[in-house]
Structure 1
Amino acid sequence: MSKSLNSPTARLLQSSRLFSLPRPLPQPALETVTSTGIYRASETATLPYPTQQAITTPASSQFRGDFGLKRPLPSKAIKGRPHLRIRAQDNSAHITDFESALNHTQTQAKWQQMGAPLLIKGKRDTFTNNNKSITSVYDATVDNTDREAVRLAMFQSSDASSQSRRNGVPSSQPQATKRWKYGGPWITGMQEGQFATWLSRSGLQERKKEFRTFLIQRMLERRVRNEERVLREQGERRALSAAQKETFRAEIESNYDTELKRLRDEHEIQFLGSEMTAAICDFLDLPGIRGQVGAGDIAATSALQDELTSGLGASDSGPPSTHPGAGLGHVRSNAVMENHPFWGPQAYASPVLARVVTPRNNYQGSRYQAMIGVGGVVTNDPVGNSGRQDRRHVAPTEYNEENIPEQYLDTDRMTTVIDTDLPGGNKTWVHPQTAHIDERGRIRLDVGRGDQEAIAVKRNKVEPIHEARSASSRGPAPYAPQASIANFGTALPDMRRAGPARSLTTGFDEQVPQRPRRESETAAKIRELLGNAPKR
């Protein structure tokens, strides 16, 4: 037994790539609080983000069950499963535990096909209730993990802002450089026991001298930056010499105890918003820490405090658990135009067919938006309770392969009532717009209702395309409301415009065949006039 374990083949297998798969991430919490206060958990629900790495193999190797493991997997168990996740390899019972990973790999494939850009969730403006800016997760101000890059960007931004104030123009500098990954834990989200354990294992007592050197260097950089700013305001564009910097360093080292006492006194007044807290977070590489707004804080409101601590990574929910893009796609913007091979450039992106999970509630409750599933993600219908229902599409008595796709065009009916007789369930066309990843690693998708012309191009239907173009030039098509009690201010519908939409090219098509006949009549008339003319 020991001879086989120490053989060259065994050592090669033990040091192979698949024998050193990364450790799985912690399981996300799937418990939700119901209206009765009871926690409801699900053991079979799809996780909001993958926790184990998915592996695949070529088709030739998959036929033999070869996934690079020690032994091939049974062909019946992996049939139709090109992606697997390995839970255990040769455990104590000599069993390889695996399962299909299509629930996450197919989601990634769908998102790459949709092409929805991943953005940073911006803060809403207090007055307009709109996002202030649209920032991609792959911008240089967001997608970085280097501590020095953030520190240098902070110095450059302060110099740019002072230059703009001196010139009397608003600053056009980009937003503050942020990080999405830190070396230290998020202290605000730790329990008291976890914080005590971290303090005992971090070895902070042995790093006092290192912190003193770090604090002196931080004070020196601030002193040099202030002196250079004063020189620029006086019109002298020059940097401080090395001798002047050494002089400042000697002054700071001699007055270190006084400066340290000043920082501690400010900390007693400003608490977590003090300069000492920022220095400790920078030294230990911790996310920004933000406390409650108090009487001694500089920021009197929570909105101002959010603005001041936005560059430090301070938030109520903590830093993100994954990369802001989560590997779903690498598109930075949706400012692209699709070019159809026959219909040419399109005003809207290609729509996708979404499944209605929960209809909207028109009468009671706060669920005024329907919940739809797009690309493996559940999101809300962009349109809530509509005052006008489209009555042009009525459910047929029987469904077949021809009229089922036509039912998906009536978005209001699909999102209002679940039709149990419709094969495949209620579906509707939507346009994926933008998405972002929240702090818990969950995908938040924003969609828009499908455009009629874009849907017609997607379905390759010629007549609906002409009808959509003619309707866009005439405005929305009228509809005949159902019989109801008369109400003041309600008139009968205009039945003259309630007929089928006419094509804008109908008159032109009718006049084209008449052109040769008119030309021949004109030529005959000219010859007749020339024949009756008097001879000279």
Structure 2
Amino acid sequence: MGGRAVSPGGALLRTSRMFSIPKPLPEPPSTNLHIGDHKSATMTRPYPQHQSITSPLASREKGDWGLKRPFPLKSTMATSTPFIRVKQLDTVENVTNFASAADHSLSLEKFQELRVAMSVPHNTDKKADSSSRTELWHKSVFEEDMDVTDFKAGLGDDRRWKFQGPWLARMTEGKFIDYLDKKVRPKRAQFRALLKGKLADDITTSQNRAAIEAGKEAPAKIEAKDISEEQFTDYLRSLRNDRVTLYALVSKFLDLAPLGQPVGIIQTFWSNRDSLASDSPYGKSGPPPSHPSAGISYLRTSSFMENHPVYGPQGKRTPALARVVYPKAGPVPPKLGVGGFVADAPPGDNEFNFRTMTRARISSNKTMLNGIMHLDTTTFGGAKAYVEATTANVDPSGKVVLQLRETSAEAQVVARESKGLTEIYHDGKTKSYTPTTPKTTGQQSPRTTSQQATRISDETRWNRVADEILDEPSRS
């Protein structure tokens, strides 16, 4: 027996965005950047996969959430965070499978309270000069030369964040082999035809330049069909030895995500116009899976001044109270929890991290925060400290990378006074201690080692892609 017929109006409502729930996003994959990720059924995912739904109190008291059946009051009213995510509208038991969505909803509210502007990652491969921005300046993801998705956008083509091809360093070995078989090898003939056309243009340009220097008439234009097999074979051999030019051609042909400077190639080789993503901010870190803002902040800059109702304009923004969630372990910096996000402690000589060379000089007037060197089990709720969030960006796995810096003592006192914890000019001494001098080792920072391994793996995969696409096309 056939299904019940639906009227045209009913079918339109069912497929409309007003009455439909978007499909959930796929499960976040574990990448080589986060090999140590441990998945569980109850862990908070790096990004929300389902739409968060809420309902006003008058409707919530009746179990009305705008869906086809009412929800039980016992599980939806006994909470101060009325946010749910619908996993399945209809199950085999004719019920709606839903769960709380307070984790990501509250994290979004807390992040927006920080008033942080999203920025593009810094390209540490390029040395700062008078024409490029320094580490003190964070460029917004909404700038016209950065917020580009068009492949034919001219200068913005190297700085765009969306690509048709994958980021090779993020792919697993199985997916990479599958990409070579299904996407790269079938395009060999097309790529070789493109190379013949480029070789013909190069020969024509060279002949025209020689004719102009000799004062002769320019010869006829060389076509791709005029290229002999010997000329083309020699050209392929030169390309295999010139990896910089080959990377640029393969990248534009397959529209691959940008590649950072390969290991062992001199910086001056990357100064030509056709260098591979020389100005791309995602050359080392990789492109984000969505818009670089991730939809969590639409501020273009964090350069604004707060005005206190009593003390007037403030030199520092209102700091946020951070919790020490992971103490310092060797070269690994301590981790702080700020507004539902985990970030590295502010760098430099401060209460979070003392440098061995300057510790003797500053130990007289600075002390290290509790919980930094060892887990603090005596302080109620864990060790806490005020920090200032400067900027944030999204990494290739969809996680928000928050950057912090040390705030001033005056801003901390003003923040505590607003909560009734202290009074201005009458703040007592805080509980702190001075740790012993840590032992220094020759161990290399694991972050540097991970980045270098990622770049080496990325370059190896680029070589394999280039070799595959340069081979003879299959006769079958």
Which category describes the TM-score, using the shorter chain as reference length? 0.5 to 0.7
Normalization by structure 2: what TM-score?
0.66
Deviation at 1:376, TM superposition (A): 0.8
Deviation at 1:64, TM superposition (A): 3.4
The superposition leaves residues 154-175 of structure 1 with CA deviations (integer Å, 9 ceiling, x where unpaired) of 7xxxxxxxxxxxxxxxxxxxxx
**Residue of structure 2 in register with 1:84 after alignment:** 84
**Residue of structure 2 in register with 1:377 after alignment:** 341
**Residue of structure 2 in register with 1:112 after alignment:** 112
Hey, what's the Cα distance between the residues in 2 that align with 1:83 and 1:356?
A: 28
Hey, what's the Cα distance between the residues in 2 that align with 1:302 and 1:11?
A: 56
Higher helix share: 1
Deviation at 1:100, TM superposition (A): 1.5
The residue type paired with residue 281 of structure 1 is S
Change (3 A) 1:265 1:44: same
Deviation at 1:269, TM superposition (A): 1.0
1:17-416 to 2 correspondences below 5 Å = 17=17, 18-19=19-20, 21-29=22-30, 41-79=39-77, 80=79, 81-124=81-124, 131=135, 134-149=138-153, 152-153=154-155, 177-190=158-171, 193-195=174-176, 197-198=178-179, 201-202=182-183, 205=186, 208=189, 212=193, 216=197, 250-253=221-224, 255=226, 261=233, 263-271=235-243, 273-275=244-246, 277-288=247-258, 293=263, 309-311=277-279, 315=283, 318-360=286-328, 365-366=329-330, 369-382=333-346, 383-385=352-354, 412-413=369-370, 415=372
Q: The residue matched to 1:431 in structure 2 has which SS? A: strand
The residue type paired with residue 345 of structure 1 is P
CA contact 1:142–1:177 (8 Å) conserved in 2? no
The residue type paired with residue 115 of structure 1 is R
Hey, what's the Cα distance between the residues in 2 that align with 1:463 and 1:57?
A: 38
1:508-523 to 2 correspondences below 5 Å = none
Deviation at 1:59, TM superposition (A): 4.3
The superposition leaves residues 131-172 of structure 1 with CA deviations (integer Å, 9 ceiling, x where unpaired) of 3863222222322111111xx227xxxxxxxxxxxxxxxxxx
**Residue of structure 2 in register with 1:498 after alignment:** none
Deviation at 1:178, TM superposition (A): 0.8
Change (3 A) 1:15 1:249: farther
Deviation at 1:67, TM superposition (A): 3.3
CA contact 2:285–2:395 (8 Å) conserved in 1? no
Hey, what's the Cα distance between the residues in 2 that align with 1:429 and 1:314?
A: 31
CA contact 1:287–1:312 (8 Å) conserved in 2? no
Change (3 A) 1:109 1:462: closer
Question: Is the deviation greater in 61-70 or in 105-114?
Answer: 61-70
CA contact 2:353–2:368 (8 Å) conserved in 1? no
Deviation at 1:466, TM superposition (A): 4.2
The residue type paired with residue 371 of structure 1 is K
CA contact 2:322–2:337 (8 Å) conserved in 1? yes
CA contact 2:21–2:51 (8 Å) conserved in 1? no
Q: How many residues align?
A: 400
The superposition leaves residues 251-284 of structure 1 with CA deviations (integer Å, 9 ceiling, x where unpaired) of 445645688556423222123x224x43333233
Hey, what's the Cα distance between the residues in 1 that align with 2:158 and 2:238?
A: 26
The runs of 5 or more residues in structure 2 that have no matched partner are 129-133, 213-217, 347-351, 435-476
Hey, what's the Cα distance between the residues in 2 that align with 1:216 and 1:380?
A: 50
Hey, what's the Cα distance between the residues in 2 that align with 1:464 and 1:425?
A: 24
Change (3 A) 1:65 1:184: farther
Hey, what's the Cα distance between the residues in 2 that align with 1:9 and 1:329?
A: 37
**Residue of structure 2 in register with 1:442 after alignment:** 399
Hey, what's the Cα distance between the residues in 2 that align with 1:415 and 1:291?
A: 35
Q: The residue matched to 2:75 in structure 1 has which SS? A: helix
The superposition leaves residues 314-366 of structure 1 with CA deviations (integer Å, 9 ceiling, x where unpaired) of 74654332332222212232221111222111000011122222345xxxx51
Hey, what's the Cα distance between the residues in 2 that align with 1:302 and 1:278?
A: 10
Hey, what's the Cα distance between the residues in 1 that align with 2:118 and 2:307?
A: 22
Hey, what's the Cα distance between the residues in 2 that align with 1:381 and 1:264?
A: 50
Change (3 A) 1:250 1:443: same
Change (3 A) 1:331 1:219: farther
The runs of 5 or more residues in structure 1 that have no matched partner are 155-175, 232-246, 393-409, 469-476, 483-536
Hey, what's the Cα distance between the residues in 2 that align with 1:78 and 1:414?
A: 37
Deviation at 1:111, TM superposition (A): 1.4
The residue type paired with residue 25 of structure 1 is P
Change (3 A) 1:248 1:114: farther
Normalization by structure 1: what TM-score?
0.60
Q: The residue matched to 1:26 in structure 2 has which SS? A: coil
1:435-514 to 2 correspondences below 5 Å = 435-458=392-415, 459-460=417-418, 464-466=423-425
Q: The residue matched to 1:77 in structure 2 has which SS? A: helix
The residue type paired with residue 451 of structure 1 is S
CA contact 1:125–1:131 (8 Å) conserved in 2? no
Q: The residue matched to 1:412 in structure 2 has which SS? A: coil
Hey, what's the Cα distance between the residues in 1 that align with 2:383 and 2:423?
A: 21
Change (3 A) 1:328 1:60: same
CA contact 2:146–2:159 (8 Å) conserved in 1? yes
Change (3 A) 1:189 1:453: closer
Hey, what's the Cα distance between the residues in 1 that align with 2:279 and 2:319?
A: 37
Hey, what's the Cα distance between the residues in 1 that align with 2:127 and 2:295?
A: 34
Hey, what's the Cα distance between the residues in 2 that align with 1:221 and 1:456?
A: 67
The residue type paired with residue 29 of structure 1 is S
The superposition leaves residues 43-97 of structure 1 with CA deviations (integer Å, 9 ceiling, x where unpaired) of 4321222223323344444443333332232233223343222222213443322
| Structure 1 vs Structure 2 CA RMSD | 4.8
Identity across aligned pairs (percent)?
28
Change (3 A) 1:218 1:183: farther
Change (3 A) 1:91 1:278: farther
